[in-house]
Each structure stands twice: as structure tokens, then as C-alpha cells.
Amino acid sequence: MYIDGFVAAVPQANKQAYLDHVHEALTLFKDHGAVRMVENWADDVPEGKVTDFHRSVRKKDDEAVLFSWIEWPSREARDSGMKTMRQDERMKSMAMPFDGQRLIFGGFAPVVETGPAKGTGYADGFVVPVPAANRDAYVRMAQNASAVFKEYGALRVVEAWGDDVPDGKVTDFRRAVAAKDGEVIVFSFIEWPSKKARDEAWPKLMADSRMQPDKANMPFDGQRMIYGGFATMLDA
């Protein structure tokens, strides 16, 4: 599996236009080899002290943050699909109901992937800067946490390591988390059957001793992690 991850700012008034847009894009991506597209609209996205999703895309007051991803069978399938898609006339004529210059995107290789990709009604999304030297420690931590999330009702947990994450002119994933030299971007999400299931699970998760952070040995800077809860508007 390979994942393209996206964060965008969409005017609240354009919600239906955006949904129409992604339905059109779905057919295009499917025709060029993608196997799943998931679009999630901001629902519980807090402001942070250092970084957050709002600042990541320079969100304006009348906009909402979108957290989305596209799944491919492999990196090779993604590269081939994106190449042929750029030549597709449908791509050239597609209108975007948001500011594409503030869209942040990148390609990610999963290092943790548990559970089935179906039945999602809500997603927790995360973007984290992790020192490349701490990859193994991060994966171990993520694997342990994913098992606990599943115990409390999560359908699927994916942690994906930055693989093809470009710098942007206005916004990008590295700026979103104030990444330093030697750090890699991790794009991750937890899929839940509903907002209710997610909201009921989080207090229990926070009370579980297995989820208490070992602050002395954290493999990343938690102050620069961005996170939030998103209502799934398309899962196809």
C-alpha cells in the first residue's frame, strides 16, 4: 500500500461544491489505479500553541480544514497513475472550489497498518515530525498504541512514513510542523465507525496506563504534532 496525503482549506460555503469535485476526482483516480479515496471535513480541530491544522494551510475565518488521503496498491502504481493522470483531459478541465496554492500534499509509505479499510464514519488525523534516526523507536511506539486503539473500538490505524514530500511555495507538510533538518514527516490517521464511538473511546484511552507518554524517551517533539477530528464525507 502507498498513500497520498492531503490537507486543504475549503470555504464553508463551498462544501457541496467540494463534495461534487471529489466525486468527479474519484472517477479519475480510480481509472488511473487508485484503490480508495477518503475525504474528511473538520469537526474537532483545536488550535495549538506551536503548530496546528489551521496554520498549516493558512486557514481563513470562513474556511474549514480538510484532511484526506488516496490509497494505491504500491508506490510504483501511484507514480504511474499520477503520470498518466496529468495527461488526462478530465484533469485539465477540473475546477477546484478551494485555493490550490495552500493545498499541502505528499506521498507516504505505511509503517503501521492495522484493520480493514471499510465502515469509516470519522477519522482522527495527525501529522508529526520524527527524526529519521528515531524511525524504529517511533514504529514500536505506534504499533503498541495501535493495538490499544483497536481495543477501544478503532477500525483501522495507519502510520505512514514520508517518502515523497515536496517543498511548496506557500505551504507544505514540513512548514506545517516546523520540521527541522534530519526530520521526516509522518502522516497518520485513526478510523472510527462514528464520532460517538471516537468520543467515547478517547477518555478511556487517556486513562489507560499503556497510553501514558514516556516523556524522557519520546521519539518526536509532541509540541509540533498537529492533530484533529474529522467527519468523513466520502469513503469510496
Residue 85 CA to residue 103 CA, distance in Å, equals: 18
* Residue at 219: amino acid letter: P
Looking at residue 167, its pLDDT comes to 95
DSSP string, 8-71: EEEEGGGHHHHHHHHHHHHHHHHHTT--EEEEEEEEE----SS--HHHHTT--TTEEEEEEEEE
Q: Was domain 2-235 assigned CATH 3.40.50.620?
A: no
- CA 97 from chain centre, in angstroms, equals 20
Residue recorded with cell 470555504: 11
Per-residue pLDDT tens, the chain, 236 aa: give them: 999 999 999 999 999 999 999 999 999 999 999 999 999 999 999 999 999 999 999 999 999 999 999 999 999 999 999 999 999 998 888 888 999 999 999 999 999 999 988 889 999 999 999 999 999 999 999 999 999 999 999 999 999 999 999 999 999 999 999 999 999 999 999 999 999 999 999 999 999 999 987 878 899 999 999 999 999 999 99
The pTM score is 0.95
Sequence spans of domains, the chain: 2-235
